[in-house]
């Protein structure tokens, strides 16, 4: 595989990862109690450094911030506290499958306090970013089952969870798996200038890799497009080299059509992060006009099989629902 026109230096992959824990009452604790709970609930994880972190008291109505030891290579983590959170409730409820009148949604919207848990990394290495997401998920889990906890939001993928639903990514982290569908969210919409076609994009993948993946103006059904993106995101989170600008992919699950891969640099089409776009041959999107010609080194390249799809053994007309139900993949 050639390395022509690779994505630029990741921006989102250098930002701290954050979770917000919603509370319906004031909360106070001591730091060493949290460190002890983390070591007990996640015994396979590295929590070194806890012995040098002072046993500070914390109160959502008082102490502004306390550190949390996160092991080697990342952190330390920081827990901030405050009053009622400022969130776009309607959007988050919709993405959590909640109506505003649901009991769970009403509890979240009336939260009187919150915690912000942030964990940063010194560089954008994928292994460190995944470890930071593990730690954020783990710390949030310590508070998730408290009677006063109403919800948990993972801000990098714009997701909201009820305390019960949050057990799913927590169980994956405890099993040393990547909870792909909880850390990365697929979104689909129709463009105003191509109402008969679907554009789908990952949300949150760039926090780990520095890029998102999309299918722009594709004739695929939304469920098929999103399943394709999430399995591609799974490969990216396991560190696989996916493609280069101008690649032609065979075996994409929409028949025998070849998909062209194009690199969309950050800001080129209004996108906040660099994107790889998988272009269906029947897409009306004019990639040459919007992105320029395919790099000369790729124009006459032989097409390659879409390895991820081939490895999963997906037939033509694959069951998108079955794929979307496979929510975790082993890191090994």
- Residue 79, beta-bridge partner list: 66, 117
Contacts of 183 (CB under 8 A, 6+ apart): 133, 154, 156, 157, 169, 204, 208, 237
pLDDT at residue 75, as a whole number: 78
187-223 pLDDT, tens digit per residue, is 988 877 778 899 999 999 999 999 999 999 999 888 8
Instruction: Give residue 13's pLDDT.
Output: 64
Q: Looking at residue 302, what is its pLDDT?
A: 46
Q: Give the distance, in angstroms, between the CA of residue 85 and the centroid of all CA atoms in the same chain.
A: 22
- Write down the pTM of the prediction: 0.84
- pLDDT for the residue 297: 52
Question: How far apart are alpha carbons 322 and 319 in whole angstroms?
Answer: 5
- Cα dist. 157→141, 179, 324 in Å? 17, 12, 17
- What spatial distance separates the first Cα and last Cα of the chain, rounded to whole Å? 23
pLDDT value for 183: 97
**pLDDT tens readout for residues 128-186:** 999 999 999 999 999 999 999 999 999 999 999 999 999 999 999 999 999 999 999 99
How far is Cα 119 from Cα 82, in angstroms, rounded to an integer? 18
Q: Do the beta carbons of residue 275 and residue 201 sit within 8 Å?
A: yes
| Parts of the chain with a pLDDT under 50 | 1-6, 9, 254-256, 299-332
> Pairing between strand 194-203 and 28-30?
unpaired
Residue 166, pLDDT score? 97
Instruction: State CA 306 to chain mean position distance.
Output: 22
**Contact criterion met (CB below 8 Å) for 98 and 104:** yes
């Amino acid at each position: 595989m050639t390395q022509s026109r690779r994505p630029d230096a990741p921006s989102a992959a250098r930002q701290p990862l954050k979770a917000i824990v919603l509370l319906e009452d004031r909360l106070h604790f001591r730091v060493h109690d949290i460190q002890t709970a983390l070591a007990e609930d996640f015994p396979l994880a590295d929590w070194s450094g806890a012995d040098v972190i002072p046993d500070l008291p914390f109160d959502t109505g008082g102490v502004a911030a306390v550190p949390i030891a996160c092991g080697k290579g990342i952190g330390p983590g920081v827990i901030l506290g405050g009053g009622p959170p400022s969130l776009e409730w309607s959007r988050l409820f919709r993405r959590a499958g909640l109506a505003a009148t649901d009991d769970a949604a009403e509890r979240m919207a009336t939260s009187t306090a919150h915690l912000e848990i942030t964990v940063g990394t010194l560089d954008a290495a994928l292994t460190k970013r995944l470890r930071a997401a593990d730690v954020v998920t783990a710390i949030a889990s310590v508070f998730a089952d408290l009677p006063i906890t109403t919800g948990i939001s993972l801000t990098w993928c714009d997701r909201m969870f009820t305390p019960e639903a949050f057990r799913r990514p927590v169980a994956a982290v405890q099993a040393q798996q990547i909870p792909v569908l909880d850390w990365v969210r697929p979104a689909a919409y129709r463009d105003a200038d191509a109402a008969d076609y679907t554009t789908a994009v990952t949300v949150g993948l760039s926090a780990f890799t520095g890029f998102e993946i999309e299918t722009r103006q594709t004739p695929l059904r939304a469920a098929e497009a999103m399943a394709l993106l999430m399995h591609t995101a799974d490969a990216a989170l396991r560190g696989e080299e996916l493609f280069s600008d101008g690649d032609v992919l065979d075996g994409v699950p929409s028949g025998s059509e070849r998909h062209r891969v194009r690199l969309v640099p950050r800001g080129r089409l209004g996108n906040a992060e660099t994107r790889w776009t998988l272009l269906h041959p029947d897409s009306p999107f004019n990639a040459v006009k919007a992105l320029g010609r395919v790099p000369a080194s790729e124009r006459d390249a032989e097409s390659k099989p879409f390895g991820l799809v081939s490895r999963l053994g997906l037939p033509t007309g694959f069951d998108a629902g079955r794929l979307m139900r496979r929510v975790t993949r082993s890191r090994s």
